[in-house]
Amino acid sequence: MKKRTPKAIGRVVPRKEGRAKVTGEAKYIDDINRDDLWHGATIRSSVARGSIRKITFDPKIPWKEFCVVTAKDIPGKNVVALIEGDQPLLAETRIEHPEEPVLLIAHPNKEMVTRARATIQIEYAAAAAVLDFEKSDTVFKSYSVNKGDVDSVFRRKDVTIVEETYFTGAQEQLYIEMNGVIAQASSQTGVTVWGSMQCPYYVHKALKALFQLPDDRVRVIQTETGGGFGGKEEYPSMIAGHAALLAWKCGHPVKLIYDRAEDMAATTKRHPSRTRHRTAVDKNGKLLAVEIDFLLDGGAYVTLSPVVLSRGTIHAAGPYLCDNVRVQSRVVKTNTPPHGAFRGFGAPQSLFAVEKHMDRIARVVGVAPEEIRRRNFLKTGGMTATSQVIQQKLDLSGLLDKALKKSNWKTKREKFLKHNKTSKIKKGLGLATFLHGAGFTGSGERVLASKVAVEGTEKGTIRVLTANTEIGQGTNTIFAQVVSDALKIPYEWVEVAQPDTARVPNSGPTVASRTCMIVGKLVERAALELEGKLIDSGLLEKNGEPSQFRKALVQYRKKYGELKGFAEYIQPSHVNWDDQLYRGDAYGAFAWAAYIAEVSVDTVTYCCTVDRFTAVQEVGRVVHPLLAEGQIIGGVTQGIGYALYERVVWKDGRMANNSLTNYIIPTSVDTPTIDVIFLEEPYEPGPGGAKGIGELPLDGPAPAILNAIENALGVEVNHIPLLPEDLLRVCEAGR
């Protein structure tokens, strides 16, 4: 009997970089120091819109010792290359939002930089700014999804129409490590940037355009990254460009690290939204026609807004079957810093609306919230709003039942009804059922055409080469698990290379719940290709033991030098998408979930507390139970913040509460016990059967919590964040 290595997938293996993280040895960008470093700072606009008239440098500052960079110093194009290329890296004369970068300074002494940055005066000719996105008429992008014939249903006399408008606010990603980079650059050596980021190749692309350099003269290296959540998807291209320009001009490596105030005021947030729902239902609550108008505030530049809008649009109708659907969506321009990627990417906004609206329909029709959903759930063979036929086994009713049971829904709802009659603390339970598509939308993955490699080391171990970053979610660990199982070698024999564009292929960005499902599968294929090469060389028998594999690999390396396996993305044959009609298979796979929130509302203070939370989801095969659970609990907690605590206070287009004292995220005493249950329906195209998981948990908490508050108080609340001040306003208005 051969000794078999236990399967790594499905097992709690140790996090690859865990030890470095608990000893303080892990080096984040600000932990890296060199004697020759200069320190940079960004001088930003103080108005929302206008043009620069004059810049004054305080004569008390020894400017000769400083490096000062303006847009004129840019060797290539003054754009942050992403989708549209409309955003300048440094404003020339035109200002489109507060905190827009205008000037860069650097000096070897950090204190000198701090002192100097406060003295630069910029005068503006101010212009009228558009700050209310509902009043903006500059449309960055729009989509239209059509299924069936909505209008003829709305004309019918025998239907009930349910209408409402829902709002969501901006949300700060609030990774605890601020944005930061170190850059080294010269016309001889090209540009190298180290930094905290999700997507090294995005930064690579942006730097190439900025400096007009070929691929091999730009190098981007990700350092240990203290959280991203989307906030380090597109923004690092900006800060990397700034640091590189300073380094290019002053001839020294430049460190540019934001403090919290700058990071919060200047970088991206989740898009605020407004969603109008108009629904026709029959007397049993069956959805007959669904019309949704979805609007996002894009901020001052296009950045990733079209893609965020796309995901929000596709998810807008929720996990329900309806033959007649129309979704119209737009993202518009305002003079605030651009809104950008944040875990969920448009879906938390549109799903908030539909899940609030389902409770509203339930009330109008007079059935229970769980029942209205059950009557409308998508099933295997059913068609989504984009006419995607659900091929996989899908049992949303079963999923919902699990959540109802775990949360003790029925008993507690009855108990709370009694309790609320006499207590100043009102309790309630609320529900949300939803879906989240994994990977890039539609043809996105095909266009992206991600590549990965694995290499055999001379020690006989395997190194995974991808551009996908470990940002806390467990990339290093799951890739190693996938390879371990593909090659049937111990998990400990697999390492994951630091993402470095000079060494790893472009496996696409670390976003969109795609790292495990899409890239993980490529890693599996690359590992098998490598194994095939070993077998073909005659050094390894098929189904050899791990020790034989290792021996064969060492021999191969001695004999032939390098051994690598490669894989490139191939669109599964079942995925067909029409970009023109916005119709077809939006995603290769969806994760499905039913979340239940239990809340208390103190009627003395209007403070809401989430007392318990139940998260049941079907995510395909769970690769690493502990990491997966961590993703869900962490995502739910961000969702609790989104619903109840986190308000960006805008003043003239600028975040006014840009500090951790005034922008409130939940602490350990504000978060409940979160019960996490996974149902596993293996998805064949994913590694070991896995689907995406990262974004899903942000979609459900906000509507579940607000539905629970409605259950507790009997008032309707249709916007988040719902702070005590807002709840009081709603309650007083209803008095």
Partner 1 sequence: MKPTFKLKINGKAFAVQAHPLERLLDVLREQCGLSGTKEGCGEGECGACSVLLNGELVNSCLVPIAQAAGAAVLTVEGLASKSLSALQKSFLEHGGAQCGICTPGMLIAASALLKTSRRPNEKKVREALAGNLCRCTGYQNIVESVVGAHKESR
Partner 2 sequence: MRGTASDYSLVTPKSLCEALTLIQQGAHPLAGGTDLMVLFEAGSLQWKSLVNIAGLKELKGIRFQQDRVELGALTTYTQILEDKKVVSHFPMLAESARLTGAWAIQNRGTLGGNIANASPAADSPPSLLAYDAEITLTSATGDRTIPYVDFHQGYKKTAIREGEIIRSITLPFPRRHSHTYFRKVGTRNAQAISKVVVAGLAHIIGGRLDQFRWAVGSLAPFPKRCRHVEKILWGNRVAKDLIQTACDNLKNDIAPIDDIRSTSTYRMIVARNCLKDFLEQLL
Say if residues 8 and 58 touch (Cβ distance below 8 Å).
no
Closer to partner 2 by CB, 590 or 642: give it.
642
Q: Single out the segment in contact with partner 1 by CB under 8 A; choices: 24-32, 130-138, 494-502, 703-711.
A: 24-32
The nearest distance, CB 731 to partner 2, in angstroms, is: 9
Residue 480 amino acid letter: A
**Which of 118, 125, 139, 176 lies at the binding interface for partner 1 (CB under 8 A)?**
176
User: What are the beta bridge partners of residue 463?
Assistant: 455, 495
Q: Write the DSSP string, 219-280.
A: EEEE-B----TTTTTSHHHHHHHHHHHHHHHHSS-EEEE--HHHHHHHS-BPPPEEEEEEEE
Say if residues 511 and 450 touch (Cβ distance below 8 Å).
no
For position 665 contacting partner 1 by CB under 8 A, the verdict is: yes
Residue 450 amino acid letter: S
The nearest distance, CB 110 to partner 1, in angstroms, is: 9
Site for partner 2, residues 104 to 133, rule: CB under 8 A: 111, 114-115, 118
For position 176 contacting partner 2 by CB under 8 A, the verdict is: no
> Cβ-count burial of 589 within 10 angstroms (0-12 exposed, 13-18 middle, 19+ buried)?
buried
x/- contact string, 350-389, with partner 1 (CB under 8 A)? ----------------------------------------
Q: Distance between CA atoms of 265 and 651, rounded to whole angstroms?
A: 11
Closer to partner 1 by CB, 298 or 697: give it.
697
Closer to partner 2 by CB, 109 or 138: give it.
109
For position 629 contacting partner 1 by CB under 8 A, the verdict is: yes
Closer to partner 2 by CB, 116 or 288: give it.
116
Q: Write the DSSP string, 651-685.
A: ETTEES--STTTS----TTT--EEEEEEE----TT
Q: Strands of 425-438's sheet, edge to edge?
A: 425-438, 589-602, 607-618, 673-679
**Which of 15, 107, 333, 621 lies at the binding interface for partner 1 (CB under 8 A)?**
15
Q: Distance between CA atoms of 51 and 128, rounded to whole angstroms?
A: 11
CA atoms within 13 A on the CB side of 442: 17
Give the helix/strand (H/E) hosting 147: strand 139-147
Residue 723 binds which entry of partner 2, partner 1, none, CB below 5-8 Å type-dependent: partner 2
**Which of 1, 35, 667, 733 lies at the binding interface for partner 2 (CB under 8 A)?**
667
Residues whose CB is less than 8 angstroms from the CB of residue 131 and which lie 6 or more positions away in sequence, other chains included: 48, 334, 335, 336, 650, 652, 653
Q: Distance between CA atoms of 381 and 377, rounded to whole angstroms?
A: 12
For position 6 contacting partner 1 by CB under 8 A, the verdict is: no
The nearest distance, CB 656 to partner 2, in angstroms, is: 6
Site for partner 1, residues 587 to 626, rule: CB under 8 A: 626
If we measure between CA atoms, which residue out of 244, 236, 289 comes closest to residue 266? 236
x/- contact string, 388-417, with partner 2 (CB under 8 A)? ------------------------------
Q: What separation in angstroms does the CA of 661 have from each of 282, 396, 646?
A: 49, 41, 12
For position 202 contacting partner 2 by CB under 8 A, the verdict is: no
Q: Single out the segment in contact with partner 1 by CB under 8 A; choices: 115-123, 460-468, 671-679, 721-729.
A: 671-679
**Which of 66, 211, 440, 645 lies at the binding interface for partner 2 (CB under 8 A)?**
645
Q: Write the DSSP string, 329-355.
A: EEEEE-SSSPP---TTTTHHHHHHHHH
Residue 649 binds which entry of partner 1, partner 2, none, CB below 5-8 Å type-dependent: partner 2
Binding positions for partner 2, rule: CB under 8 A:
111, 114-115, 118, 259, 261, 424, 603-607, 609, 645, 649, 656-657, 661-662, 664, 666-670, 723-725, 728-729, 732
Q: Which residues contribute to the site for partner 1 (CB under 8 A)? A: 14-15, 17-28, 30-31, 33, 173-178, 224-229, 259-260, 471-474, 626-627, 629-630, 633-638, 659-661, 665, 667-669, 671, 673-674
